[in-house]
Each structure stands twice: as structure tokens, then as C-alpha cells.
């Protein structure tokens, strides 16, 4: 059930709901933003019942939607990457609402096209006011994590233009993305910035072709029991105590909410229908978001299975299906960037309280830069320094 909210001295009418599917314009606003702002992902992520969720859409007097806002009140948040005290050099004081989603590690502003910065700010400010009314426990405190530089800049400019600033930005981390060229995978590899990378990529393609392995495309439903153990293998390799049963249950919940958007790449050996590895991705608008990979490590053949499942096959799929971008998420910067991913900063915004610690942010930047090859490190430092200035 949607709830109307008529803010004082605002031209906007706000409608709020417990799920985005109750708001008929939500997907229109989210279409050009991250998959993680779309209805299927948001409703899946709320199935853990850790947080209270509220979704807001602001409407102009004409009835057309102007902006959307995702808000969660989550004082018992169990994902430390969404706890400001664990990830921000200078966290805001007191419990704060999470704006923009609490799973997925990528967010963005939901604005209708054609609005000026001041109009965006008026609409967003009205929605933040409505969220404050909805969650008085937050006392007007909020933070908005995992924004690209463009997204953070748009939000800050909008709120400032509407007299809602100042808003602080703090560096959270980075993620990886690939713009798929018209020539598909061959053009992508041909555009890699060094001869050595191009040579390595072509060697990986030959090694996989000669291995006898093949990749089959399918969807998630019906495969969760087989894929759970492979996902658990990867989680355990990187220090997470997740069982095969837990991962199969997680994938099953995703299938229940995200089946129609799911794309699964299964790596199979000749004459064997047990997957050697897999990657799970989701379609949204013009992008493909690669969510997880999983492997049966004992059966890998050293044929660049990771490269094919996480990068090469998603690029092929995008080109064949008219998609423009592969979102590869956080971490594994070295492996992703050497295969053509761009590394971009991710930011958190919050109303200015204590001034952000510039030295701490520069230290975080330097930690990320140290994990990158030289070519990507220079670009990342330049973009980050420009935003921090």
C-alpha cells in the first residue's frame, strides 16, 4: 500500500511504499541507474528482514515522477560494508539512515530527465524530508554509500543548488566496469592498453578453446543446488565461513526474485553436466551486472576459466544482446583491470558534520592505488584527487 505525503511549502507530492513494486514509476526512474537500484534486486535484498525499508517517489503537480529515493533504517545492520563506523574515515555522529540501498555496493540518483540542478535538489530534498518523517529515530541523519564520481557530483550539486548543502563526500573504495565496444570481444582485447595484455588475453582464449571446456548460457532457476557448493568454495577461499547449503539457499532466494533478469554462464567439461565453474549476472537496462563466480577448484584445467566466466563471456553476451556495459563490482582489481576493466572511485555522501579527514582519505586512495597496475593507478589517482580537491 502506498502512502501519500504532502510536504509543506513544496510543489511535490510524495508517495511512499514498503516495496518499490508498489510505486508504478519506480522502474522508469531506475532504468538508467544501477541494477542495484531496480525493483527485483531491492525486493530480494529486503528478504533478509534486517532493516526497515521505505521507497519514495516525488511527483510534480502534473503527476509526472521527478525523483525516487531508497531509505533503510538498519541499526542492526549485519553487512559491515554498510556500517559507516566500519568503512568511513570520519563517520557521521549517531545512527543514520542508509540511502540508496544496503546491498550491491553500487547506487545512484534516481531523477527524471530534463530537471535542472535546482529542480533535482528540490525534489531530492523533499524526499529526504519525507524519509526523516518516516524514520524519526535517525534525527535527520543519513548517509548514501557506493556512488560513482558522476553520481556523487550530481547529488551534491543538486542539494547545493536547492540550498540543502553542504554535503560531504568520503572515498569508500572502487569498482570495475567495462564499456563494450561495437566490435565485441575482439575489439575489446584489441583496445587493451599494452601489447603484453593483448598477448595474454589471446593466449587465454586459445587455452580455453584447446581445453575442451565449453560455456553454456542459462538462467538461475533449477541450478541453485549445483551452484551453491561452487560459490561456497570461493567464499571459503577468501575467508568467509559460508556453507554450500547457505549459498544454495541464497541463490534460491535470488531465483525467486530475480529469475527473469538472471544470466548464468556454466563452464562444462566434455561429457559431464556437472559445472566446473559458473558466473551469475543480471540484466538491467543496457548493462549486465556480474554478481558472483564459483568454481570446483579440483576440476579446473588451468584454462583461464575465471577470465572467461567473469569477463570474456559477459562481454560476448553484451555484444550479442545489444547491451553496452559490464559491471564487475568491487575487489580483484588486478585481475579485472588487466583484462580491460576501468577502475572507478566509489564515494559516500552525508550532511556535513565533522570535516572529513583529508589525510585519511588520501591514505585510503593510496591503498587502492597500490593494488592497481600502473596504467590504472594513474587514472584512479587523477580522478580521486580531482574529486577530493
pLDDT in tens, the chain (389 residues): 667 666 666 788 999 999 999 999 999 999 989 999 999 999 999 999 999 999 999 998 888 999 999 999 999 999 999 999 999 888 887 899 999 999 999 999 999 999 999 999 999 999 999 999 999 999 999 999 999 999 999 999 999 999 988 899 999 999 999 999 999 999 999 999 999 999 999 999 999 999 999 999 999 999 999 999 999 999 999 888 899 999 999 999 999 999 999 999 999 999 999 999 999 999 999 999 999 999 999 999 999 999 999 999 999 999 999 999 999 999 889 999 999 999 999 999 999 865 677 888 899 999 999 999 998 999 999 999 888 76
Q: Residue 162: what are its φ and ψ, rounded to 5°? A: -95, 10
Q: Give me the helices (H) in 223-357, please.
A: 224-237, 244-258, 305-307, 313-320, 333-337
Domains 3-174 and 181-323 share a fold: yes
How many secondary structure helices (H) and strands (E) does the chain include?
A: 14, 14
pTM: 0.94
Q: Report CA dihedral (83, 84, 85, 86) to the nearest 10 degrees.
A: 60
Residue whose C-alpha cell is 590504472? 376
Residues with Cβ < 8 Å from 367, sequence gap 6 or more?
none
Sequence ranges of the domains in the chain: 3-174, 181-323
Residue 53: which of 12, 19, 81 has the closest Cα?
19
**And the C-alpha cell for 306?**
575465471
CA distances from 56 to 42, 72, 125, 244 (A): 13, 11, 12, 37
Residues with Cβ < 8 Å from 175, sequence gap 6 or more?
105, 106, 327, 328, 329, 330, 343, 344, 346
127 DSSP assignment? H
Per the CATH hierarchy, to which homologous superfamily does domain 181-323 belong?
Gcn5-related N-acetyltransferase (GNAT) (3.40.630.30)
3-174 belongs to which CATH class? alpha beta
Q: Report CA dihedral (89, 94, 96, 102) to the nearest 10 degrees.
A: 50
Amino acid at each position: 500500500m502506498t502512502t501519500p505525503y504532502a510536504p509543506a511549502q513544496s510543489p511535490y507530492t510524495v508517495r511512499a511504499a514498503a516495496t518499490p513494486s508498489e510505486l508504478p514509476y519506480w522502474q522508469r526512474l531506475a532504468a538508467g541507474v544501477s541494477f542495484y537500484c531496480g525493483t527485483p534486486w531491492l525486493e530480494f535484498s529486503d528478504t533478509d528482514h534486517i532493516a526497515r525499508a521505505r521507497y519514495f517517489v516525488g511527483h510534480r503537480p502534473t503527476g509526472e515522477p521527478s525523483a525516487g529515493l531508497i531509505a533503510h533504517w538498519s541499526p542492526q545492520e549485519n553487512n559491515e560494508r554498510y556500517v559507516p563506523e566500519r568503512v568511513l574515515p570520519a563517520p557521521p555522529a549517531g545512527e543514520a539512515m542508509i540511502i540508496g540501498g544496503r546491498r550491491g555496493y553500487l547506487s545512484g540518483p534516481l531523477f527524471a530527465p530534463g530537471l535542472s540542478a535546482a529542480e533535482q535538489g528540490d525534489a531530492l530534498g523533499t524526499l529526504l524530508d519525507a524519509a526523516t518523517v518516516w524514520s524519526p529515530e535517525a534525527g535527520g541523519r543519513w548517509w548514501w554509500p557506493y556512488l560513482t564520481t558522476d553520481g556523487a557530483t550530481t547529488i551534491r550539486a543538486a542539494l547545493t543548488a536547492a540550498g540543502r548543502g553542504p554535503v560531504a563526500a568520503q572515498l569508500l573504495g572502487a569498482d570495475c566496469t567495462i564499456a563494450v565496444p561495437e566490435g565485441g570481444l575482439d575489439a575489446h582485447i584489441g583496445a587493451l592498453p599494452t601489447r603484453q595484455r593483448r598477448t595474454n588475453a589471446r593466449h587465454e582464449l586459445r587455452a580455453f578453446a584447446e581445453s575442451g571446456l565449453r560455456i553454456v548460457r542459462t538462467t538461475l532457476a533449477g541450478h541453485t543446488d549445483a551452484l551453491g557448493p561452487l560459490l561456497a568454495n570461493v567464499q571459503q577461499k577468501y575467508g568467509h565461513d559460508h556453507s554450500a547449503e547457505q549459498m544454495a539457499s541464497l541463490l534460491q532466494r535470488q531465483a525467486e526474485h530475480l529469475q527473469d533478469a538472471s544470466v548464468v554462464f556454466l563452464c562444462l567439461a566434455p561429457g559431464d553436466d556437472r559445472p566446473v565453474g559458473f558466473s551469475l549476472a543480471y540484466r538491467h537496462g543496457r548493462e549486465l551486472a556480474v554478481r558472483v563466480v564459483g568454481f570446483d577448484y579440483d576440476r579446473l584445467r588451468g584454462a583461464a576459466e575465471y577470465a572467461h566466466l567473469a569477463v570474456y563471456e559477459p562481454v560476448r553476451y553484451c555484444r550479442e544482446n545489444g547491451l553496452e556495459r559490464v559491471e564487475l563490482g568491487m575487489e580483484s582489481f588486478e585481475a579485472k583491470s588487466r583484462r580491460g576493466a576501468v577502475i572507478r572511485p566509489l564515494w559516500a555522501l552525508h550532511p556535513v558534520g565533522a570535516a572529513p579527514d583529508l589525510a585519511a582519505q588520501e591514505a585510503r586512495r593510496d591503498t587502492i592505488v597500490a593494488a592497481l597496475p600502473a596504467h590504472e593507478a594513474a587514472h584512479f589517482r587523477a580522478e580521486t584527487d580531482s574529486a577530493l580537491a
